[in-house]
Structure formats: structure tokens, C-alpha cells
Amino acid sequence: MAEVAAPGAVKKKLGILISGRGSNMMALVTASRSPDSAYEVALVASDKPDAPGLAWAKENGVPTFAHSPKNIPKPEYEAKIDSALRAAGVEAIALAGYMRLLSDEFVAKWRGKIVNIHPSLLPLYKGLDTHRRALVAGDSHAGCSVHIVTEELDGGEVLGQAEVRIDARDTPESLAERVLAEEHRLYPQVLQEWLCR
Ligand code: GRF
């Protein structure tokens, strides 16, 4: 059963980090606008000032922040992201297609407060190219996982998963499309449960 925030409960302020099209961010923002949502999106931040998802967030009234890490040391770049998140009052962070590895220092500062969505049934296929790897392995199912972010790449506690059956005619692209539809359903649901627990 879906968790429902207590009536009148103060909503948690969520920050979302993206690098690209931001379809999972859109699903999270859309779900946050339900009266029962346990969270509101206080900031969408990106390492890519021209990320298409940022434009969508702006058009939809969500505060945004962008800073390119090019030509500056990583700690300086992450300090800017961290300051923007804290200035917006962010209490938890959702990574949604954020294509940059967070440093151990950043993860430590936000320990237990960052979640990510990954397009595989973890612990299988950490890292990139997950759909092709599932097809090459001859798996019967693929899927997606929402997990806590730790210093280990795609290695933190798994909070929820959704499975998709692999069809003999699947290509990495066709599989990615079906898994993505599940991501959009899974991420808001798991985030809601996690923030209510
Ligand atoms: C998704 O497949 C997500 O699982 C992975 O990166 C992709 C991001 O897509 N981490 P989008 O930007 O949310 O559309």
C-alpha cells in the first residue's frame, strides 16, 4: 500500500540532481504535487547548464541551479552544489540521471540522505550499459532499483525494485524504454515510502 503523509505534516524538502533529459526528475516533481506527497522539490540542480531537464523544471516553477565542473577542482564544484542545496533548505537528495560520481566527502556530508535510481536489478550490472549486459547474459528479466547512495558505486541498500520481462526480440533500446517506464512508477513510490519510514 502506498504511504500517505500525515495530514498537515510538513513536507520534506527534496533536491534532485540531473545531467540530462530528466524524465525521472519529472516523475518525482509530478508526484510531489499530490496532496499526499511526503516531499516537495526545493531545487533541481545540474552539472550541465544546458540539460533539457533544467528547462522543464524552470517552466514548471521548480527552482533550479546549474554549475559546470569544467575548469574547476572537484571539491570547489561540489561545494557550490552543496551550498545551493543547503540554501534551498534541502533535507534529502534524489539522483536522477546524474552522470557524475559524488566524492566520498560529499557522500559523508549527506550520509543516508541520498538515493539513486539505477537501471538494473542490483546487485547485477552496476555502472553503465546495463541493458546490453543483461541481454548478453541471456537474462530472463531486467529492471530498475532505487538504492541509498554510499561511497561504493551503485552499492548502497536497495530500497525497492521493479522487474521487466526480457523478450527474445529486445534490443538495449527497446529494453531501456520499458525499464524507464517502470522507473517513473517506482521512483516516486519508493521515495515516498523512504521519507515516511
Ligand atoms: C535512467 O535510466 C536512470 O535509471 C539512470 O539514468 C537514466 C536517466 O534518465 N540513472 P532520465 O534523465 O531520468 O530521463
In this prediction, residues 22-47 reach a mean pLDDT of 98
Distance, CA of 38 to CA of 32 (rounded, Å): 8
Known active-site residue 184: no
* Fold exhibited by the domain 12-196: Rossmann fold (3.40.50)
Is residue 3 predicted with pLDDT exceeding 90? no
Confidence at residue 1, expressed as pLDDT on a 0 to 100 scale: 52
Please indicate whether residue 32, judged by its CB atom, sits closer than 6 Å to ligand 1: no
Residue 6 banded pLDDT, cuts 50, 70, 90: confident
| Nearest Cα residue to atom 8 of ligand 1 | 97
Per-residue pLDDT, 131: 98
pLDDT above 90: residue 147: yes
Domain range summary for the chain, segments of one domain joined by + = 12-196
Cα of 6 to ligand 1 centre, how many Å?
30
Residue nearest atom 14 of ligand 1, based on CA coordinates: 23
| DSSP notation for 87-101 | HTT--EEEESS--SP
Look at residue 27 in the predicted model and tell me its pLDDT.
98
pLDDT, tens digit, for every residue of 56-102?
Answer: 999 999 999 999 999 999 999 999 999 999 999 999 999 999 999 99
Which residues have C-beta within 8 Å of that of residue 99, sequence separation ≥ 6?
A: 19, 20, 47
Could you tell me the distance, in angstroms and rounded to a whole number, from the CA of residue 8 to the centre of ligand 1?
32
Q: 97 to each of 22, 24, 174, how far by Cα in Å? A: 7, 8, 18
Packing angle of the helix pair 23-32, 52-59 (nearest 10 deg): 20
pLDDT at 185: 98
What is the model's pTM? Answer: 0.96
Please tell me if the CB atom of residue 145 comes closer than 6 angstroms to any atom of ligand 1: no
CA 26 to centroid of ligand 1, rounded, Å: 11
- Where does the pLDDT of residue 4 fall: very low under 50, low under 70, confident under 90, or very high at 90 and above? confident
Q: How far is the CA of 24 from the centre of ligand 1 (A)?
A: 6
> 22 CB less than 6 Å from ligand 1?
yes
| C-alpha–C-alpha distance, residues 62 and 29, integer Å | 8
